[in-house]
C-alpha cells in the first residue's frame, strides 16, 4: 500500500506568514489489493520504476517522454502527469529533482551571468531574443549580476520590445517572461534569482484580472503545484504596471480601453476576496477601480503612443517616480 499526500483543494491552505499556498496533512492510500485502485496503483508503480531508471542514468526527460514509454498503460498524458506530481509529493521533493521536466518556455535577457552545466552564459550577449530558461534549474550555478531589479513581463511582445531596445543597458535589470501563464522552470528560475541576488522584482502585466492572476502564481503559487510552493514562489513582487489607475494617468485613448466581459467582472470580484489581494490594500484599490470602471487594457495598448513608448517614456517615468505597489 502506498500513502500519497492529497492534492485536493480541501487539503490546500494559504499561509499568510509564508505568503504562499501549501499542502495540508491529509493522505490517501493506493493498494494493489483494492480492485478499484489497482489500475491507478499499477500506473504509480510503473512511473516510479521509470523515474528510478532515469535517475540511475543521470539524464533528464520531459513529461511527454515519460508518457510515450508506456502509452497503452497511461492512455492519456494527464494521468501520467498527475501520478508524477503524486510521487513528488510522496517522496517530498520537486518534480525537477526526479529529472522529469517540462519543455522550454521562458526567456531571460539582461544583466545576469551564470554557469549552465559547465558553459558560461552572459545574457547581455545572447542576441535580441535572449536566452531560453532551461528546464533543469539545478544545472545552473555561479549566478552573478549587477542588476538593480528584475522586470517580470507577462507578454512576449513586451519582452521583445525591451530586449530589442536593450532597455537593460540604460536601466540595469534582468528581464524575464514566461510568455503568458508561468511555467515551472521560469518560476523556479525567478525564485532562485530573488533568493541569491536579493533585488526587487517588478511585475509588468496586462490591466485585467488574468494579469493579476499571473502575478499571484509567481507570488503565492498555484494549487496544482502547492506541494512544491517553497521553490516555486517569489515573495514581495511589486506591481509596476499596467495598473487600472494608469489608464487615466497616462491618458490611454478610449479605443485602447476594452470593455470587460461578464466573466472578467466575475473573476475580478472573486479576486477581491483572495488572500493575496486582501493583504495588500493598494492592490485591492487598483482591482476595485478595474471592477468599477469595467475597463481593461493590454500592455500593447501603450503602443498607441508609439512603438517605443514603453521603453522611452512609460517605464523610465515609472522607475524615476518609484511608481510600483
For the annotated catalytic residues, the residue numbers are 68
**Taking the CB of residue 169, how many other CB atoms lie within 10 A of it?**
11
Q: Which three cell numbers stand for residue 235?
A: 515573495
- The grid cell for 232 is 516555486
Q: Please enumerate in sequence order all residues whose Cβ is within 8 A of that of 121, keeping only pairs 6 or more positions apart, or say none.
A: 113, 114, 115, 131
Q: Cα–Cα distance between 112 and 145 in angstroms, integer?
A: 5
Between strands 131-132 and 107-110, the pairing is antiparallel
Report the b/e string of 180-209 with b at 16+ CB within 10 A: eebbbbbbbbbbbbbeebebbbbbbbbbbb
- Give the containing element (helix H, strand E) for 166: none
CA angle 207, 132, 63 (to 5 degrees): 95
Amino acid at each position: 500500500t502506498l500513502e500519497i499526500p492529497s492534492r485536493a483543494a480541501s487539503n490546500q491552505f494559504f499561509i499568510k506568514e509564508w505568503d504562499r499556498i501549501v499542502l495540508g496533512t491529509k493522505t490517501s492510500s493506493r493498494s494493489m489489493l483494492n480492485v478499484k485502485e489497482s489500475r491507478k496503483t499499477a500506473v504509480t508503480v510503473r512511473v516510479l520504476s521509470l523515474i528510478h531508471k532515469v535517475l540511475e542514468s543521470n539524464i533528464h526527460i520531459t513529461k511527454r517522454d515519460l508518457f510515450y514509454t508506456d502509452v497503452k498503460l497511461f492512455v492519456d498524458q494527464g494521468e501520467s502527469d498527475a501520478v508524477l506530481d503524486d510521487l513528488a509529493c510522496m517522496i517530498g521533493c520537486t518534480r525537477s529533482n526526479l529529472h522529469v521536466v517540462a519543455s522550454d518556455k521562458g526567456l531571460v535577457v539582461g544583466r545576469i551571468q551564470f554557469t549552465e552545466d559547465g558553459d558560461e552564459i552572459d545574457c547581455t550577449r545572447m542576441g535580441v531574443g535572449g536566452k531560453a530558461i532551461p528546464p533543469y534549474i539545478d544545472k545552473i550555478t555561479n549566478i552573478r549580476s549587477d542588476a538593480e531589479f528584475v522586470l517580470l513581463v507577462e507578454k512576449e511582445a513586451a519582452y521583445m520590445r525591451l530586449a530589442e531596445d536593450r532597455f537593460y543597458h540604460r536601466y540595469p535589470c534582468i528581464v524575464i517572461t514566461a510568455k503568458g501563464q508561468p511555467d515551472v522552470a521560469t518560476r523556479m528560475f525567478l525564485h532562485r534569482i530573488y533568493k541569491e541576488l536579493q533585488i526587487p522584482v517588478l511585475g509588468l502585466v496586462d490591466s485585467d484580472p488574468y494579469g493579476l492572476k499571473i502575478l499571484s502564481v509567481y507570488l503565492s503559487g498555484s494549487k496544482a503545484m502547492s506541494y512544491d510552493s517553497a521553490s516555486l514562489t517569489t515573495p514581495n513582487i511589486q506591481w509596476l504596471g499596467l495598473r487600472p489607475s494608469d489608464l487615466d494617468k497616462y491618458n490611454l485613448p478610449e479605443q485602447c480601453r476594452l470593455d470587460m466581459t461578464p466573466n472578467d467582472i466575475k473573476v475580478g470580484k472573486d479576486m477581491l476576496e483572495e488572500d493575496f489581494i486582501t493583504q495588500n490594500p493598494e492592490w485591492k484599490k487598483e482591482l476595485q477601480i478595474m471592477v468599477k470602471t469595467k475597463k481593461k487594457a493590454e500592455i500593447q495598448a501603450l503602443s498607441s503612443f508609439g512603438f517605443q513608448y514603453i521603453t522611452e517614456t512609460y517605464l523610465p517615468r515609472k522607475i524615476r517616480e518609484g511608481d510600483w505597489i
